Structure 1
Amino acid sequence: MAAPKLDDRRLNRALMARQFLLAREDVAPLAVVTHLVGLQSQLPQNPYTALWSRISPFDPADASTLIAKRETVRLSTLRGTIHLHDVEDALLLRAFCQSVHEATPFGERVVFRRQLAGIEPEALWEAGRALLADAPMTPAALGKALAQAFPGYEPSALSTAVRYKLSLVQVTPRGEWGRSQAPTLTTVEAWLGRPQRRPDTAAVEALTLRYLAAFGPASVQDMQSWCGVTRLGEVFEGLRPRLAVFADATTGRELFDLPDAPRPDPETPVPPRFLPDYDNLLLGHQNRARVLDDEGRQRLSAANNGYQPTLLIDGRVAGIWSYDKPRRKGAPAVLDVELLARQPAPVRAAIEAEAADLLAFLAPQVPERDLRLH
């Protein structure tokens, strides 16, 4: 029997439902972070905008407290980029994604061949682990300290190699709402007081089911693009008896899903939603046609590799936006929204209302606010 086919609109509505974007929900920030298997946090304040677009009511202080209390942490995991995770995912996902980090241009094989020839890798790892467990350090301070133990080598190369090998947390107050500091690192074990989890078969299967709960229906290639880890086909095959199987109506590719996961009517309305840079909604699939057409992809790719803050209209990328903090006393906070195509008056009014709310969220203490929609 042929697998039922799902077109882009049906896939879109399933994704919107699982991403809390059909309607804001009254759920705790930690529950959203866990359900979405982490939030992109390459820019430290981005998770707050991501949560604001998904939760009501949402107080950023609640999410900030989670970081301050070490109930969520920021570290490099999926695709070798910084994410905000709950504790259990922080202890598992970096180990799961270790091969991704080692394969980067800053990973073990390249760095040791080009810049650190002659160093015993394990000696460097142990030195870095000891330094960072003793006290959090900036990358520059780490490199300087390592250079004392390994004289004659470039401090930045020593620091980079350790950062891409070890599971390192960016410690607070970086990542807290309205606060910052230079990236300062320690090991995840030292920060959380617990060892990392081994990504055994059961753990990877559980992670696959969670990915589908947040991003499905999806293909093997979609999950691999989401996390950066390859050769996951065997995992899906092992789970096949527990999964619903569909086919992408456009590509014919096999799609997997949880049998009881929401797949709403394709005509379900979706309100305008603003997403921050790098939101995994745009990065969670190899085939992004469910949220992004060719024109939108070309426009986004023209700057910052396609990872600009985006506006969703009817569940699809239809605009980009930027926020400028006041640079002097009395200056306005500015939210600039650029539509990729003209919109009907009722849609434009809904965008303006959502944009005004976003600007109020981002600049609650600024009396002058300037919303620019064009």
Structure 2
Amino acid sequence: MTKLSLQALNRATLERQWLLERRDATALEAIEHLVGMQAQSPLAPYVGLWTRLQSFQTDELAKLLEERRAVRGSMMRATIHLMSSRDFLAFRPLIQPRLEREVFQNMTYGRHRLEGLDIDAVLRAGIDRMTAGPATAVQLREHLGPLWPDREPAALAHAVRCLLPTIQTPPRGIWGKGGNPAMSTADLWLNSPVDPAASTDPVPSLERLVLRYLAAYGPASVADAQTWSGLTRLNEIFDRLDLRTYTDLTTGRTLYDLPTIPLPSPDTEAPTRFLPEFDNLLLSHADRTRWIDNQTRQQLTLQEVLTRGSVLHNGQATALWKQTKSKKTAHLEIDPITKLTRAARSAIESEAHNLLTFTAPNATHEIRFAHP
């Protein structure tokens, strides 16, 4: 098996993620290529699409959500993902085991709090409430609590959110708008039950899901795919597929990939890119050393890295960023997590100006490095 260095892995996955070169593609094509985008921070996908596409504008994604061609709902890792509606309908049943674990093994909302409960009756009651209109978590608790007065309303609402194919409806997730998350279901919002037949894939299945994952995140190990999806026991799925195998030069792990995709040269130049908080690039591998070296990781918690935007320079996470606004000025603070050369700082500052032109075109821009 061919051995791949961290540099080779880095460049291969950056190319799959459309981060070596911005692509001339639609937002919907990008969302489907990435098999969804983490969206618990509702506006993060806008930056994630801008950094990957040549001519993305905020109203393109807003229109997809308002026209119900894309949705934000509970998916991989039991977190909110932006998906195309057809992918949500097709793949949501495959992720159901992870969402069931989120309910029944949850220390806060599950276990003994749901023991002996007629879950089907709770779900029917949740559907009844959402049939009247999208419901916030508070409204679900207010509806469900009186029906089961001996149970915690928050646990009941959490079960509804996870066990049903719930979708957070606009204006949540619309650029320039806001509001508390309000939930509907796929049946109500998209007028269609979750159904693998809705997918554009030939055979919507765990096998197809793994192939889609490798096309966007490979080469990768079984553990990587399980980390991305939140599913377990994917070894047998990989065994049934006709895949190319590589060896991770650093760890000796077996990595899998689609046999039809060539790898770019490890020496390919990687431009500076700004990623939003919780970008799937940083969440979708069990071993994240292709993005951030162990020494840097030891200095930061994963939560610190994910809850702020990340700056990739030469393919590596080298800084964190956060944008704020005061009156007519947009402020972007860059916090280096590695030592930056003068050239690196210049490249990061240049791309920061591009980012602010996208996020705050009518404001005065101010960029500041947290450390000299």
Give the shorter-chain TM-score range: over 0.9
Q: Secondary structure at the match of 1:56?
A: coil
**What amino acid does structure 1 have at the position aligned with 2:293?**
D
Q: Give 1:86-125 correspondences, 5 Å limit.
A: 86-104=84-102, 111=109, 113-125=111-123
Measured in 2, the distance between the counterparts of 1:262 and 1:249 equals: 18
Say if 1:17 and 1:302 are closer, same or farther in 2 by CA, change over 3 A. closer
Identity of aligned residues (%): 40
Map of 2:367 onto structure 1: 371
Say if 1:341 and 1:304 are closer, same or farther in 2 by CA, change over 3 A. closer
314, 332, 338: which is aligned to 1:341? 338
Q: Give 1:1-374 correspondences, 5 Å limit.
A: 3-104=1-102, 111=109, 113-198=111-196, 203-239=205-241, 242-301=242-301, 303-304=303-304, 306-326=306-326, 329-330=327-328, 332-366=329-363, 368-373=364-369, 374=371
Measured in 1, the distance between the counterparts of 2:278 and 2:5 equals: 25
Measured in 1, the distance between the counterparts of 2:110 and 2:302 equals: 34
Q: CA deviation at 1:201?
A: 7.7
Measured in 1, the distance between the counterparts of 2:150 and 2:131 equals: 24
Say if 1:45 and 1:106 are closer, same or farther in 2 by CA, change over 3 A. farther
Aligned length: 366
Q: Secondary structure at the match of 2:322?
A: strand
Measured in 1, the distance between the counterparts of 2:108 and 2:95 equals: 18
Q: Which runs of 5+ in 1 are unaligned?
A: none
Q: Which runs of 5+ in 2 are unaligned?
A: none
Q: CA deviation at 1:305?
A: 6.7
Contact kept? 1:173, 1:179, Cα under 8 Å: yes
Say if 1:299 and 1:279 are closer, same or farther in 2 by CA, change over 3 A. farther
Q: CA deviation at 1:321?
A: 0.6
Contact kept? 1:336, 1:372, Cα under 8 Å: yes
List structure 1 runs of 4+ shifted beyond 6 angstroms: none
When structure 1 is superposed on structure 2, of 287-296 and 15-24 the one drifting more is: 287-296
Measured in 1, the distance between the counterparts of 2:73 and 2:204 equals: 23
Say if 1:184 and 1:167 are closer, same or farther in 2 by CA, change over 3 A. same
Measured in 2, the distance between the counterparts of 1:50 and 1:295 equals: 26
Measured in 2, the distance between the counterparts of 1:229 and 1:183 equals: 26
With normalisation by structure 2, the TM-score equals: 0.93
Residue by residue, what CA displacement relative to the aligned partner does 1:59-83 show, whole Å, maximum 9, x if unpaired? 1111111111111100111111111
**CA RMSD, Structure 1 to Structure 2 (Å):** 2.1
With normalisation by structure 1, the TM-score equals: 0.92
Measured in 1, the distance between the counterparts of 2:146 and 2:160 equals: 15
